Structure 1
Amino acid sequence: MYTKFINIVSVISKLSFFEMINTECFLDKTQLLPKRAYGYYGAFVATMFTPILISFALLGFTFYKRRKQNSVEARRKLEATSFFLFFLLLYLVFTNSTQMAFSTLYCDTYGDDKTEYLVADRR
C-alpha cells in the first residue's frame, strides 16, 4: 500500500500525466497518432513547459484578482499566497525537470556502430 502511494505521489509531483493515463490503448485504435508517439521527447516537452504554463496562469490570475482587491492588506495577502504557490510548484518540479534536461545530453554508442543514441530513449 505504501509503495502504491509513493508511486502516485511521484507521478503527480513529476507532472508526468502521460504515465498516469495509458494512452497506448486508445491511440492505437483510433489511428490519430502512431503508437508511442509521445515517447521521450513528448514527455520532455510536457515536463519543461507545463510548469511554465502553470506559472503564467498563476501570474495572470494574481493580476486579475489583485485589480479587484480594494485594501492594501488584501493585495499583500494575495501576493504572498501566489508566491507560496509558485515556489511550491518550483519545489515539486525542479528535480524532475533538471533530471530530464540533463538526460537529453547523455548519449552512448553501441558496439562498432558510431551512431550515438540517447540513453533515456534509444529509439
Structure 2
Amino acid sequence: MIQISITFISGSNPETGSSISSSSNSSGSICICVVVLVIEVVLVAVVVVTVVVVVVVVVVVVVVVVVVVVVIDVVMVVVVVVVVLVVVVGVLVVMVVVVKIVVVVVVVVVETLGIIVLIAYWADEF
C-alpha cells in the first residue's frame, strides 16, 4: 500500500534561531489520493466510452452508406435493364406491326393486280 503524507511546516528562518514546527496529516492525504484516483478512472472511462461510441457511429454510417450505394446501384442496373428490354420489345413490336402492314398492303396490291389481270383475260376471251 502506498502511503503519502503531507507535512505542513511553519516558522521563520532557522538560522535566526526561531523555532520550526511541523505537522503531518497522512489520513487526509490518502483520502485526497483516492478521490484523485477515482476522478482519473472516471475520466478515462468517459474517454473510452466516447471513443467506442464514435467508432460505432462511424462504422454504422459507413455500412448504411455502402448499403444505400449498393442498393441504388442494383436498382439502377435493374432500371436500365428494364428500360432496355422495354425499348427492344417496343422496337420488335413496331417492326412486326410494320411488316404486317407491308405484307397486307403487298397482298392487297397483288390480289388487286391479279383481279385486274383476270378481268382483262376474261374480257379478252369473251
Q: The TM-score by the shorter chain falls in which range?
A: under 0.3
Determine which structure has more spread, i.e. the larger CA radius of gyration.
Answer: 2
| TM-score, reference length from structure 2 | 0.27
| TM-score, reference length from structure 1 | 0.27
